[in-house]
Structure 1
Amino acid sequence: MAAKRFQPYAAVFKGDQEQAARLYALNVELSGALLELLHFAEIGLRERMHTQLSREYGRYWFFRNGPLLDDRSRSKVATATKYFGKHPDPGRVVAEFSFGFWRELLTPGGKVTDSNNKYLRHADYQHELWEPALHRVFLERGRTSYDMKDAEHLTRRVQRARNRVSHHESLVFGVAQPGEQTSDKLKVRQSPHAMLADIRELLAIVSPEEVNTWLASCRHAEELITDDLAHAALDHALLTLNDVSWI
């Protein structure tokens, strides 16, 4: 692999190539363990959101006769349905939507324009999506339900972890939160432990109880992030990343 890609792992052990290779392999193994959990988190999220929106607006809620989606969302719907004909199977369409599409439905909504790109208004996802339908997805068992902002923040952090895994990037050094900073201008970074906790939290919300019971026995990710090699990587990041606030 490129020396630049391997360098952060070697830096943890002051150039010890064997230990660096072990850490790199652990990071790959961690990605695989998290992918198993992320699979069920993403599938569960989209199925629960689709179910609630279908109950409120019908199976074809993503078309114009449903809630008013903003230009960004409508563009993704058009791309997903381009080759499916006028009356596609909703299940096939839903499977085409990315994690980002679902997360964006938890934001306030963006601009809406007509076919001539003339501005009409802003979509109102709070009143058209969250209040009539999507809040029911985030009714956490035994606790107060999430508000829309909390739900979006959680899914955003999980999406970043998913993207990090999908692009074969490092996890043992934490996950950057682009565009976020503290009041004193520090960049925000999430530790592997907090990342795993978020994934588990989303799973608890969107997965049936029997699935969560099984997933609770899948502890390989926990074992890996508590390994001595993973501890060494995180300690190195804590010492060398001076402009960062950790979550």
Structure 2
Amino acid sequence: MASACMGDIAILEVALRNRMDRQLSLIALEQAGTEDWYMAGLRFDDRTQRQIREAWGHLTIQQKKWHTHGHLVAALTFGFWRNLLENGGAIHARWPDEGSADYENDLWRKGIVKSFPGGRRHAADANAKWTRNYALNIVKTVHALRNRVAHHEPLVNGVPLPGENRRITLADAVRACFDLAMILDRNLYSWLMDNSKMKLVLEHEPRSIE
């Protein structure tokens, strides 16, 4: 099951980062005249800036000179994109000019929301309001599943959600993967429905032992 999850989530991660990268590029182009959003002076919090620096440090000299944008985006983690859907944290923490990032107004409303063209309909079908937190809840569930299987943790008793002191069933975690596909791209959702290994393996999900 872990192998099946990693295969499907890898596809979802690429779709998510490509969508969000495109919207960040458009925001940066409007505000700073460049599509290289990581160089455009956007108000990223300290955590986001640290993750960008770490990704930059993983690039080779050639990658830093040629096609840097694509290489940098590929080096950023799933958690990086999830974090951009949160509120935003401190900027220059513990410095005299300390401030706070506002991802709701500076990122989400300025374009990141367009990364999820199917979001509003998905929320309406669930009798919920389409918000940044709605998208975040889906993405962070997929991220939690991804980390669970990547770290070789058991899935038999479900997937714990970091910071929430609760766990969800494996079936619910897999459902979040399909939810993410739906809000990103309906064609991707249809493809995943027809080709997902998770669906096949889940039918043989092991049950917890009492």
- Of 146, 162, 176, 1:198 maps to 176
Q: Tell me the CA shift for residue 226 of structure 1.
A: 2.7
Partner Cα distance (2:2, 2:138) in 1:
19
Distance 1:117 1:199, change over 3 A: same
- Contact kept, 8 Å, 2:117 with 2:184, in 1: the verdict is no
Partner Cα distance (1:198, 1:124) in 2:
26
Partner Cα distance (2:170, 2:45) in 1:
34
Q: Which has the larger radius of gyration?
A: 1
SS, match of residue 195 in structure 2: coil
Partner Cα distance (2:147, 2:86) in 1:
19
Partner Cα distance (1:94, 1:219) in 2:
25
Partner Cα distance (2:120, 2:100) in 1:
35
Where in structure 1 do 4 or more consecutive aligned residues deviate above 6 Å? none
Percent sequence identity is 29
Partner Cα distance (1:32, 1:69) in 2:
34
Q: Tell me the CA shift for residue 164 of structure 1.
A: 0.8
- Contact kept, 8 Å, 1:135 with 1:146, in 2: the verdict is no
RMSD: 2.3
- Contact kept, 8 Å, 2:119 with 2:135, in 1: the verdict is no
Q: Tell me the CA shift for residue 218 of structure 1.
A: 2.3
- Contact kept, 8 Å, 2:158 with 2:167, in 1: the verdict is yes
Query: Which runs of 5 or more structure 1 residues have no equivalent in the other structure?
Result: 1-29, 181-186, 240-247
Q: Does 1:60 align with 2:31?
A: no
- Contact kept, 8 Å, 1:111 with 1:119, in 2: the verdict is no
- Of 178, 181, 190, 1:213 maps to 190
- Contact kept, 8 Å, 1:172 with 1:225, in 2: the verdict is no
> What's 1:38 paired with?
9
- Contact kept, 8 Å, 2:8 with 2:197, in 1: the verdict is no
Partner Cα distance (1:42, 1:80) in 2:
16
Query: Normalising by structure 1, what TM-score?
Result: 0.71
Does 189-198 or 53-62 show the bigger shift? Answer: 53-62
Q: Which amino acid aligns with 2:102?
A: D
> What's 1:92 paired with?
71
Q: Tell me the CA shift for residue 214 of structure 1.
A: 2.5
Question: Superposition pairs for residues 112-151 of structure 1, below 5 Å?
Answer: 112-113=91-92, 117-140=95-118, 143=121, 144=124, 146-151=130-135
Q: Tell me the CA shift for residue 135 of structure 1.
A: 0.8
Query: Which runs of 5 or more structure 2 residues have no equivalent in the other structure?
Result: 30-34
Q: Which amino acid aligns with 1:99?
A: F
Q: Which amino acid aligns with 1:34?
A: C
Distance 1:78 1:87, change over 3 A: farther
Distance 1:118 1:96, change over 3 A: farther
- Of 103, 107, 117, 2:86 maps to 107
Partner Cα distance (2:96, 2:155) in 1:
43
Distance 1:208 1:47, change over 3 A: farther
Q: Tell me the CA shift for residue 87 of structure 1.
A: 7.8
> What's 2:158 paired with?
174
Partner Cα distance (1:48, 1:127) in 2:
18
- Contact kept, 8 Å, 2:142 with 2:173, in 1: the verdict is yes
Q: Tell me the CA shift for residue 142 of structure 1.
A: 7.1
Partner Cα distance (1:176, 1:126) in 2:
26
Partner Cα distance (1:166, 1:104) in 2:
19
- Contact kept, 8 Å, 2:8 with 2:198, in 1: the verdict is no
SS, match of residue 163 in structure 2: strand
